[in-house]
Chains A and B, each alone.
Chain A
Amino acid sequence: MSFGARFAAAFVFATALLLVSGPPRAQAHPHIWIDAFVEVLSDGGQVTALRIHWTFDPFFTGMAAADFDADGNAELDQDEAAELAANSAENLKEVGFFTHIWLGAEPLEIAATQDFKAWMADERLHFAFTVALPEPIDPAQTTLAVSLYDPTYYIEINPDPVDPLRFIGGTAPCFANVQPDPQRTIYFGLVRPTLMQLLCNTS
C-alpha cells in the first residue's frame, strides 16, 4: 500500500474514532438564534430578581423538540418539556446561562436559576428562568445592567427590539437604557452585545 493510501486510511479511521468517542467541539458564528427579553421583578420598589425569556429559532426548536420527544408523537408534551427544562437548567450552569448581570460595577455570579420552564407556543420553543439577586437592591442607588450573549457566538441572542427590559411593579420612575455595549465585544471584535441598563430617577 502506498504512503498516500495508508495516510488516507489512517486519517479516516482516526476521524471515525474521534467522532464516536471524542469530546464535542465548539464552533463559532451563529447557528442558533434566540429572541429574548428580561423582566425585572421587584418588591416594594426594590429589585429582587430578573426573569429571562427566550424564544428559539425554528431549526433549534425542531431539533430539540425531536430529541426530547420520548414517546415519538411529534409533540413536545408537558413531561417532555419538563425534562428538557431540567436538563437545560443543569447544563446551562456551565455557561452562566448566557446571562451577564452587573450590580453597579460588580458582576453577579449566576450559580443557579429558579422556575426554569420550557414550552412550545406558536411552533417555537420557549424558555423562561429566574435569576434571584443575592439581596434586594434599590435601583435608584445601584444601577442594574444586563447583557445576554454567548461569548463563543455559536448562539446569537437578540433582545426584543421594542421592549427588551421590562420593569414590573416599580415605584421609582425608571427607564431602560438599551445600547450596544461600549466596553465589550465578541466574535473577533465584530459584535457588540446589547447592554441593557435600568436607570432610575433619584429625586
Chain B
Amino acid sequence: MVSGAVAPAHAQDSMRALGGGGGAAEDQAAPIAPGFVANLLADVREIQRDLQTRLAESVAAIKDQTSPWPLLVLIGLSFAYGIFHAAGPGHGKIVISAYLLAGEENLRRGVLLAVLAALLQAASAIALVGVLALVLGVSNLATADRVGTLEAASYGVVALLGMWMLWRVLREAWAHRAGNNHHHHHDHGHGELARVAGASWREAALVVLAVGIRPCSGAVIVLLFALTQGLLAAGVLAALAMSVGTAITVSVLAGLSVALRRGALTLTSTSNRWQTIAANTLGIAGAAVVTLFGVTFFAAAL
C-alpha cells in the first residue's frame, strides 16, 4: 500500500475510497428527522456541492493565471465551504458541545477550544496529505481513504475522554455530597462548583486532541486536488481558510453550550442545593453523551 508505484497497487484502495468502504445498507431505516430538517440539510449539501465545484474551478484558474485574484477567490470560497461543511458530521460539534455543557462556564475558553480543534483538524489534514501523498507517494484516493483511520483514532480518544469525565464527575459529585453531609457548610459558590464539574487545561487539551486528530475531509480533498495541479501552497492556504470557516460554525455551538450551562446555573443560583444538582446533572449528562458517542462510533469503526 505504501509505495510510489502506479495504479494497480492502489486500485483496491482507490475504489474502496470510491465505494466508501462498501458498508452494509440501511435500506429499511425509517426517517428519524422531520421533513424540514431533512430539507434544510439537503440545501446545505446543495450549497456545499456548488462550492466544491467552484473550488475546483478556482484552483484551475490559479494555474492558468498569474494575478493573485484567483488565489483570493480560492481562499474566500474555502472559508465559505468550511462554514457549510462543518454543518455535516465529523467536526466535533457533539463532543465539544457536550464537554462544554458538562463543565465550562467561561465563554472565551469554550470558543477557544472549538477554534483550536478546528485548526488542529486542518493541521492534521496537511500532515496526512504531506506525509502520505507527498513523501510516501501513496495514491490520492488511498490518501483520502486514510481520513477514516484517523477518524477511528479520534473516536477512541473521545471514548477515553468520556469515561474519564464520567469517573471524575461522579467521584467529585460523591465527595461533594459526603462533604456536605459531614460538615454542613453551605457557603460555597462558583469556585466550589467549578471544582465539581469544571475543566482542567489537561482535559481541555485532550478534547482538542480527540476532535482535532481527525482531519477535515474537505481540507484533505482540496489539498489532494491542489497537489495534482502542482499547487500545494494554494492547497495549504485553502485548508487553513476552511478551518477558520469550520471554527466559526463549531464556535457558535460552543457558545450556545456555555450559555446554556450558565443559564442553568443562574436560574438555580438562589439555592445551593439546586445549583449543585444542576451542575452535577449537566456534568453527568455531558460525560455520558461523550462516552456513548465515542464508544458507539469507535465500535462501529472497528
* Complex: A31 Cα to B143 Cα, angstroms: 14
Q: Say yes or no: B146 contacts A19, CB within 8 Å.
A: yes
Give, as a whole number of angstroms, the nearest-CB distance from A152 to chain B.
Answer: 4
* Complex: A32 Cα to B145 Cα, angstroms: 12
Chain A 141-171: CB-based contact to B (< 8 A → 1; otherwise 0): 0000000001111111000000000000000
A175 is an interface residue with CB less than 8 A from chain B: no
Report the number of A-B residue pairs with Cβ-Cβ less than 8 Å. 194
Of B37, B56, B149, B153, the contact of A57 (CB 8 Å cutoff): B56
A105 is an interface residue with CB less than 8 A from chain B: no
Q: Say yes or no: A28 contacts B56, CB within 8 Å.
A: no
Q: Say yes or no: A22 contacts B26, CB within 8 Å.
A: no
* Complex: A51 Cα to B276 Cα, angstroms: 65
> Interface size (A, Cβ < 8 Å)?
58
Q: Say yes or no: B21 contacts A87, CB within 8 Å.
A: no
B140 is an interface residue with CB less than 8 A from chain A: yes
A58 is an interface residue with CB less than 8 A from chain B: yes
B147 is an interface residue with CB less than 8 A from chain A: yes
Q: Say yes or no: A26 contacts B149, CB within 8 Å.
A: no
> Interface size (B, Cβ < 8 Å)?
75
Using A29-B90, A68-B7 as known contacts, say yes or no to A63 and B15 having CB atoms under 8 A apart. no
For A156, what are the chain B residues with a Cβ–Cβ distance below 8 Å? 45, 49
Using A67-B10, A91-B12 as known contacts, say yes or no to A151 and B27 having CB atoms under 8 A apart. yes
Q: Say yes or no: A11 contacts B157, CB within 8 Å.
A: yes
Of B20, B27, B88, the contact of A155 (CB 8 Å cutoff): B20
For B148, what are the chain A residues with a Cβ–Cβ distance below 8 Å? 24-27
Using A26-B23, A91-B16 as known contacts, say yes or no to A18 and B53 having CB atoms under 8 A apart. no
Q: Say yes or no: B7 contacts A4, CB within 8 Å.
A: no
A47 is an interface residue with CB less than 8 A from chain B: no
A200 is an interface residue with CB less than 8 A from chain B: no
A186 is an interface residue with CB less than 8 A from chain B: yes
* Complex: A11 Cα to B206 Cα, angstroms: 12
Chain A 65-98: CB-based contact to B (< 8 A → 1; otherwise 0): 1111010000000001001100110111011001
For B37, what are the chain A residues with a Cβ–Cβ distance below 8 Å? 190
Q: Say yes or no: B8 contacts A91, CB within 8 Å.
A: no
Q: What residues make up the interface of A, taking CB atoms closer than 8 Å to B?
A: 4, 8, 11, 14-15, 18-22, 24-33, 57-60, 62-68, 70, 80, 83-84, 87-88, 90-92, 94-95, 98, 150-156, 183-186, 188-191
Given contacts A25-B301, A151-B26, A152-B23, 14 further A-B contacts (CB under 8 A): A15-B213, A24-B146, A25-B149, A27-B90, A31-B144, A31-B217, A63-B141, A63-B221, A63-B224, A63-B228, A155-B18, A156-B45, A189-B32, A190-B33
